[in-house]
Structure 1
Amino acid sequence: MTKYAVFLRGINVGGINLKMADLRTALATLPLGHVKTLLASGNVVCTAKASPVELKSMVEALLRATFGYEAWVIILDQDQLENIIRTCPWAADDATTHSYITLSSDPAVLDELAQHGGEIDGVEISRLSPEALAWPAPAGGTLDSPFSKLSARPRYKSTTTTRNLRTLVKCRDALAE
């Protein structure tokens, strides 16, 4: 069994509201073990015999059928998640700056985001892995940050999701339990 972190895109922020208890109940119908949800923003840790591609397909199909929305997820195995956290150049616990990680199922999309983000004055971006890039934002100004506005464009919706580094650390710690 492989340990995975599953990150749902766009729930409990833009009109798609899911209770984590309902999500756990739905996920219990899949061949997964040790399913745990973290926070209310669509973070799941679990074990599965499936490959990442198979797991992505199963979870997205389940979410679409059960909750009736156009669902997209990003799947990371435990080693990928650990590598992303370890290589992030910014702190998870800085009170003035929040460290964000944009995750993607398509490395070419992150290449494009990194290129366009790098063209914005004052934006710092660090590519952490094929699946992730990091960027800092002032505390309290995340949604107004230029990179946040860039990454929120509809063209990136089906392949990306963004999490605070603290959230990734919580997922990593839950996988270690």
Structure 2
Amino acid sequence: MQLFWSKGYEATSLQDLLEATGLSKSSLYESFGNKQSLFEAAFTRYFDSRSKQMRTRLEQADSPLAFIRACLLSVLEDAERNTPRGCMLVNVANEFSTADPAVQQLIGLATRRFREVFEQAFAQAQSCGEIPATRAPAALALYMHCSMSGLRTQVKSGLQRKDLLSVIEMVMANLS
């Protein structure tokens, strides 16, 4: 998963996969069938584990909007890497676009999973009075997903921390 996340599908060679997994070529093919199947399993693992982590963080957050702010601020962690990798979902969507129907289905599933967590957070924020009841949680979840995707892309392009923080503050201000 880490290898595909860092390098992308096309740039990841069979040799890279053999070294990363410690498997022989025959064992890799026996276990996963082919590079595409291994990639799909790795991408599924990514969004399954990330959405589960997000749900746990939402449950443990001081408030729903504190969770939202923490998600936005998490982009700064990637900015501190020597080589930011961005969001694997965004990377996969950019690399594959609509070229592969199986991957396109996984992209749609990953997107729904992340947006569901954000929608739950915004519904909870409404329930506790953090945001007005007039704001649609589904629309806010889409806005959040797009904002996160854009921020992660900008991190990869080298946007400075102070600029990222100013965008994060604007996103937070637009939620209420």
Q: TM-score, normalised by structure 2?
A: 0.27
Q: Which is richer in helix? A: 2
Q: Which is richer in strand? A: 1
Q: TM-score, normalised by structure 1?
A: 0.27
